[in-house]
Amino acid sequence: MSPAFIRLWGVPIVLGVLTAIGLVAALLGDGFLDYVSAVALGIPVALGTWHSLRRQNS
Amino acid sequence: MTPVTIRRWAWIHKWSSLVCTLFMLLLCITGLPLIYHHEIGHLLGTEVESAPMPADTPKAELDRVIAAAKATFPGKQMLYMSQEPDDDTIWNMTLGDNGADTNFKFTVVDARTAQALPTPQFEGSFMSVMFHLHVDLYAGLWGKLFLGLMGLLLLVAIVSGVVLYAPFMRKLDFGTVRRERTPRTKWLDLHNLLGIVTLTWLFVVGATGMINTWADLLFKYWQSTEMAEMVAPYKNAPPLKSFGSMDRAVAAAKALEPEMKIGFIAFPGTPFTSEHHYGVFMTGNTPLTSRLYKPVLIDAQTSKITDSRDLPWYLTGLLLSQPLHFGDYGGQLMKFLWAALDVATIVVLGSGLYLWLKRGVPVPARAGKPEADEAGLVPALASQGDAR
C-alpha cells in the first residue's frame, strides 16, 4: 500500500475496525467484553469530538 | 478518479441523501430518547416496578397471574405475557379484543403475589409519540416499509459519501477542519470528519434498522410456512372454548429446554402462534442467545408439547439485528456512546443539508500557493452544486 493510501485511509480503516470490534464484543459476553466494547467504540467518538472542537492551524 | 466519475458519485450522494435527510433527522432525534427509554420511564414514573421482597420469595402460579390480568380488563383476552431478562419479579401482560387487535392494553402483574400493579398505558405517552415517529410514522406497516426505504437511501448515501471522501481529503490530514476559510469550507470538513468517524456505526445502525422494518412481513411469512407445518394436524380443529393450565405448559417447555428461560408467551390467535397453541418462546442466557428465541408450541388444551423447532435463518438474522440497532446490550457506557454517535450523525445530516443550501457559493481565491489538484476539483464541484 502506498504512503498516500495510508495517509488518506489509514485512520478511517482503523476507526472502522475499532467500531466493528466494539459492536461485536458486547454481543458475545457481559462484564469484561462490555468494557472492550466501550473502549473500542469510545475511541472514534473521542477522536471525532477532539478534531471537531479543537482549534487548529492547517 | 476522473472529474466525470466524481461528479456521478456526487450526484448519487446528493440525491440519495436529500431524499432521506429530513426523515433521518427525525429518526436521530426520536431515537435519542428511545436509547434511554428505561431511564426516562423511571423518571416519568411510567416504568412499573415491583415492591422489594427477598430474592427467594416463591413465584405465584402463572394461571393466577393470568387471572389477575384478565380481571384488570374484563372482556379482553390475553395476547402475550413476557418478562424482561433482568427482572423476574414482574410479568408484562398484553390484552386485546382479538388476536390481531393492535389497540393493546397493558398491565403489569407481580410474579410473586399475582397482584396487578397500577400500569400507565403506553399509547398517548411521550415515549409512544417518540416510538411511532421512529418506527411507523403512525402509518402501520406501510409507515415501517417507507422508513425502511429511507434507510436504504441512507446506506446509498453512506457508500457514495465514502467514495467522495477520497477526492476531498487527499490533500488534507485526517481530522483537518479549516476554520479560517469560509463557513462552508469549515462545515464541509466537519461533514467529512464526522461522516467518516460515524461511518461503520451508522451503516450498521441504518442497515439493522432497515431490516427491522421487515419484521412484520418476516414473521407473517414464518407463520404461513414453518409454523403452518408444525400445527398442520390442528388445521380443522374447532376453536378452543377454554384453555388448559399455563403452569403445566411452561413446565413442559422448561423440561424440553432446561438451560433456557421464558422470553415471552403468545396466546392462541396471535400472530406468533396458532389458534390452538400457546407459543412459548424460550431464550438463552448470554447477551447473544438471550435475543434468540426457540419457539415451543404447546397444545393450549392439554398443555402438551406439539412441536419445537429452531427459528429459520431470516428470523435469527432479524433478531440479531435488533440489539445492533438498539445499542442496549453493553450497559450504560454503550448507551452513552450510542447517544454520542447519534448526535454526531445529526451534525453530519445537518451539515450536509447546509452544504446543499449553500451550494454554488463561489470558492474564494486561495491565499498562498494553490494546490493544483484540489484547485481544479473544488470549484468544479461547487459550481455543480454537488459538493454535499
A20 located within any domain: yes
| Residue numbers of the domain that contains A46 | 3-52
B332 interaction partners in chain A (CB closer than 8 Å): none
A57 located within any domain: no
The set of cell numbers assigned to B287 is: 447477551
B178, closest residue in chain A (CA to CA): A58
A56 in contact with B, Cβ within 8 Å: yes
Segment B247-304, tens digit of pLDDT: 999 999 999 999 898 999 999 988 888 889 999 999 988 878 888 899 999 999 999 9
A7 located within any domain: yes
Q: Which helix (H) or strand (E) holds B166?
A: helix B140-169
B249-253, B352-356, B375-379: least confident range: B375-379
A42 in contact with B, Cβ within 8 Å: yes
Q: Do A58 and B344 touch (CB under 8 A)?
A: no
A42 located within any domain: yes
Instruction: Give the CA distances from residue B378 to residues B10, B164, B187, B366, B367, in Å, rounded to whole numbers and listed in that order.
Output: 12, 12, 14, 12, 15
Instruction: Quote the pTM value.
Output: 0.87
| Partner-chain residue, chosen from A19, A25, A51, that has the shortest CB–CB distance to B177 | A51
**Greater confidence, A23 or A56?**
A23
Segment B52-103, tens digit of pLDDT: 888 888 999 999 999 999 999 999 999 999 998 778 899 999 999 988 887 8
A58 located within any domain: no
Q: Which residues 9-28 on chain A approach chain B with CB closer than 8 angstroms?
A: 9-12, 15-16, 19-20, 22-23, 25-28
The set of cell numbers assigned to B219 is: 414473521
Q: Is A2 exposed, middle or buried (0-12, 13-18, 19+ CB in 10 A)?
A: exposed
Once rounded to an integer, what is the mean pLDDT over residues B307-314? 92
Task: Say what the pLDDT of residue B381 is.
Answer: 46
B165 in contact with A, Cβ within 8 Å: yes
B100: how many CB neighbours lie within 10 A of its CB? 10
B198 in contact with A, Cβ within 8 Å: yes
Looking at the structure of chain A, the number of domains it has is 1
